[in-house]
Structures are given as structure tokens and as C-alpha cells.
Amino acid sequence: MRLQGKKVNVLNHSIERLNYILQKGNYEEWAYLFGNKKEIIKRNFLAGISRGVGIGIGISVITAMIIILLQKIVTLNIPVIGEYIADIVEIVEKNR
């Protein structure tokens, strides 16, 4: 019974050491790279589309917020800044 417990401990230690070595060597990433090429292409294509859509939506929201802020600054009638910002807002609204 005691011999079997020692074998289990040795086996557990060996498994933990093997797991550490595999994690340190990034073998999971290598296996991914040498895996199914169609799956890799599909996954990267979908990731690219998602990033593109996210960037487009983000830029649109930020631009809209900046335009709203500039319109509010124009309503304050600050002499020099107000005219300059009014011109910018007018150009943006013409191109919309």
C-alpha cells in the first residue's frame, strides 16, 4: 500500500513537471499553427472583420461626440474660438 502511494506521488510529480515544460515551451501555440489551415484562416478572417466593424463604430461614436461638443462651444459665443469652431462644424455638416 505504501509503495503504491509513492508511485502515485512520483507519477504526479512527473506529470506536473511535463505540464510545466509544455507550458514553458508554448507547444500549444505551435500545435495551433500546424493545425487545420482552413480553421486558422476562418478564425483570423472573422477576427479581422470584427476588428474593422468595431473600429468603424468607435470612430463614428467619438466623432459624433466631438461634433456635439463643438456645437455646444459655438453656442457659448466665445469670440475667436466660436467662429473657428462654427466653420469646422459647418464644413462637417455640409459633407454629411
Per residue of the chain (96 residues), what is the pLDDT tens digit? 566 777 788 888 888 988 888 777 777 777 777 777 888 888 899 999 999 999 999 999 999 999 888 888 777 777 777 777 778 888 888 887
Say how many C-beta atoms besides its own lie within 10 A of residue 89's C-beta.
Answer: 16
Q: Determine the pLDDT at residue 3.
A: 61
Task: Tell me what pLDDT residue 4 has.
Answer: 72
State the cell numbers at 96: 454629411
Q: What length is written for the chain?
A: 96
How far apart are alpha carbons 67 and 49 in whole angstroms?
27
The pLDDT value given to residue 57: 97
